Amino acid sequence: MTDFSAERRHMVDGQLRPNDVTDLRVLAAMLEVPREHFVPPVAVSLAYLDHDLAVGEGNTRRLLKPMVLAKLLNVADVAASDRVLDVGCATGYAAAVLAHMAGQVVALEQDANLAKTAKAALSALPNVSVVNGPLVEGWRQGAPYDLILLEGATEIEPQAFRSQLKDGGRLICVLGSGPGAKAMLYRRSGGEMGGRSVFDASAPLLPGFAKLPVFAF
């Protein structure tokens, strides 16, 4: 039988610490949350590998690889009082990690079956709410947020989420879908939201976040 506690320790010590994840709250949360509970039963042996793990019908969605998720949360500087929107929560793993760090987490998923799975997996966490709706619209009913996590890549600048952030609030995501993709940290200041690159990263593209094709005549 697989010792998942040992697998979590190996993930933290072999994938996260060597990649500059220094926030002790991130490390503690990822040691605590059983990632194997958020993957399909046939894939539990793959739960702690360093890759984006397929979930959902047709395996069309992915959980972010642990290292990328941890590094995003590391630069986000999550506070215990933060209200967080997790966009594209899939089965709920990142929302569970955030629940150990933040005050309140709104986990948004547009796939009804994934949302149902996430709701069941997160039912024991009183500070997480799972909601169902289009990812590109965010969740205005719970705004404003201190932090927004796009749990996947976007090819378009996430300026549409600015109005759902508090002044001074942060947004973290992976911008781009090719080899030049970057993890980005955005911060709202009044009516503006500026961003900076924080590390090289790749992530699966979130549905609805592809750049519209440009037609040349």
What CATH number should be reported for the domain holding residue 103? 3.40.50.150
Is 206 within a domain? Answer: no
**Cα(94)–Cα(114) distance, integer angstroms:** 14
- The residues pairing with 188 across neighbouring beta strands, listed in sequence order, are 193
Please name which of 141, 139, 36 lies closest in space to residue 91, comparing C-alpha atoms: 36
What's residue 217's pLDDT?
58
Give the pair of three-digit tokens for residue 185: 């940290």
- The total number of structural domains that make up the chain: 1
Quote the pLDDT of residue 212.
77
For residue 213, being part of any structural domain is answered with no
207 domain residue, yes or no = no
C-alpha angle with apex 52: 204 to 196, nearest 5 degrees?
55
pTM of the model: 0.95
For residues 8-34, b (16+ Cβ closer than 10 Å) or e, as one string? Answer: beebbeebbeebebebebbbebbeebe
Residue 55's SS3 state is strand
Position 45 in a domain? yes
Residue 76: phi and psi, rounded to 5, are -75, -20
Residue 58 pLDDT = 72
The confidence score (pLDDT) of residue 215 equals 57
Cα–Cα distance between 16 and 27 in angstroms, integer? 8
Tens-digit pLDDT profile for the chain (217 aa)? 789 999 999 999 999 999 999 999 999 999 999 999 999 999 999 999 999 999 987 777 999 999 999 999 999 999 999 999 999 999 999 999 999 999 999 999 999 999 999 999 999 999 999 999 999 999 999 999 999 999 999 999 999 999 999 999 999 999 998 888 999 999 999 999 999 999 999 999 999 999 877 655 5
pLDDT of residue 107: 98
Collapsed DSSP state (helix, strand, coil) of residue 22: coil
What pLDDT sits at residue 167?
98
Interior/surface letters 142-152, b for 16+ CB within 10 angstroms, e for the rest: bbebbbbbbbb
Domain that holds residue 88: 4-200
Task: Report yes or no on 217 lying in a domain.
Answer: no
Amino acid found at 29: A
Do the domain assignments include residue 205? no
Is 95 part of a structural domain of the chain?
Answer: yes
Residue type, 105: V
State the pLDDT at residue 158. Answer: 97
Q: Is 216 part of a structural domain of the chain?
A: no
